[in-house]
Amino acid sequence: MVVNRQGELARKADPMTFSIVARSEDGSSLGVAVASKFLAVGSAVPAARMGDGAIATQSFCNTLYKRDGLAMMSAGRSAPATLEALLVDDDQRESRQVGIVDAAGKAATFSGADCLDWAGGVNGPGYAIQGNILAGPDVVEAMQTAFVESHGSQLPERLVESLKAGDAAGGDRRGRQSAALLVVSETGSYTPGDDVAYDLRVDDHADPVGELGRLLALHHVYFDRPSADDLLPLEGELAAEVGAHLEHLGFPDLDTWAGVENYELRLFPGSIDRFVLTQLREQSARQRR
């Protein structure tokens, strides 16, 4: 069910924003995707912590909601109870818009009566979608449809696809400027104990949602491990070819070249990833032209 709250387009600078906050189907990750006609929206709106929940705070946003909301969920409050607690002591709550999902998948969204037109939100099991200064209710409805119909896909892709659907439905009616994706997971990223798996931001761009999708694809290129089917034995003619490309490019070995290109996570002893091989061939060919 979509909840509508309207207000006048006036007053002061506002992170006019549409966002989705969600949990993965298996509960192993939580995240936020957001877009706005606002500089660097990723620095203001999203917050998430594995085991606790995820939050989007927008529309004259109170960024303290991120810190306080995560602390409340860490202490055992559900998303609806956290939302209620955040709003009760805020004398500007009718200007706020918030979406929250907790680690159990309970979700809540709020659009204050003074949010700028069109403003509203919708939530369901494991997700909350909300926006203000939108082209209309079609934006959040399209986002909901895209998220629900992407059942089975990974959470980062589902979040970005939902954002793309909202953008295609008109998005922020004042235009486009920035977008961001924040996902935390059980496996995290670089360092054990750090739950941040994706933290991608497009701070100022003519097509921020499209650019965010491009960055997500690049993230997979640099940080996903190749499957066994993508590994080729580095021996015989293939080993000789790889050696020739490396010599032509001026690198003593594959490890050194891959380090320069940031492909270290795609290396396996005695094998070469198909993607890495393609990149090596193309780089060598370009230098020969």
Please give the residue range of the domain that contains residue 45.
3-223
Q: Based on the domain organization, do 193 and 268 belong to the same domain? A: no
Give the pairing of strands 53-58 and 107-111.
unpaired
Phi/psi of residue 102, each to 5°? -95, 175
For the chain, state the CA radius of gyration: 22
Q: Which positions ≥6 away from 39 have C-beta within 8 Å?
A: 177, 178, 203, 204
Cα distance between the two ends of the chain: 59
Q: Based on the domain organization, do 141 and 11 belong to the same domain? A: yes
Q: Based on the domain organization, do 188 and 277 belong to the same domain? A: no
Averaged pLDDT of the chain: 93
Going by C-alpha positions, the residue among 123, 121, 146, 124 that lies closest to residue 134 is 121
Which token pair is 273? 């990833």
The Cα–Cα gap between 111 and 116 comes to: 10
The Cα–Cα gap between 185 and 28 comes to: 6
| Helix, coil or strand: residue 86 | helix
CB 166 within 8 A of CB 18: yes
Which token pair is 279? 């990149």
Number of domain units in the chain: 2
Q: Based on the domain organization, do 91 and 173 belong to the same domain? A: yes
Q: Based on the domain organization, do 166 and 257 belong to the same domain? A: no
Q: Based on the domain organization, do 193 and 234 belong to the same domain? A: no
Q: What global pTM score does this model have?
A: 0.89
Q: Is the peptide bond before 118 cis (omega within 30 degrees of 0)?
A: yes
Q: What is the mean pLDDT of residues 125-137?
A: 96
Residue 3 has pLDDT above 90, yes or no: no
Q: Based on the domain organization, do 148 and 236 belong to the same domain? A: no
What does the pLDDT look like over 168-209, one tens digit per residue?
999 988 899 999 999 999 988 778 889 999 999 999 999 999
Q: Point out which residues pair with 233 in neighbouring strands.
A: 271
pLDDT (0 to 100) of residue 187: 87
Q: Based on the domain organization, do 56 and 169 belong to the same domain? A: yes
What does the pLDDT look like over 18-41, one tens digit per residue?
999 999 999 999 999 999 999 999
Domain boundary among 182, 205, 223: 223
Q: Which long-range contacts (CB under 8 A, 24 or more apart) does 71-76 make?
A: 73/100, 73/102, 73/103, 74/49
Report the CATH number that the domain containing residue 156 is assigned in CATH. Answer: 3.60.20.10
What does the pLDDT look like over 263-282, one tens digit per residue?
999 999 999 999 999 999 99
pLDDT (0 to 100) of residue 189: 77
Domain boundary among 201, 223, 245: 223
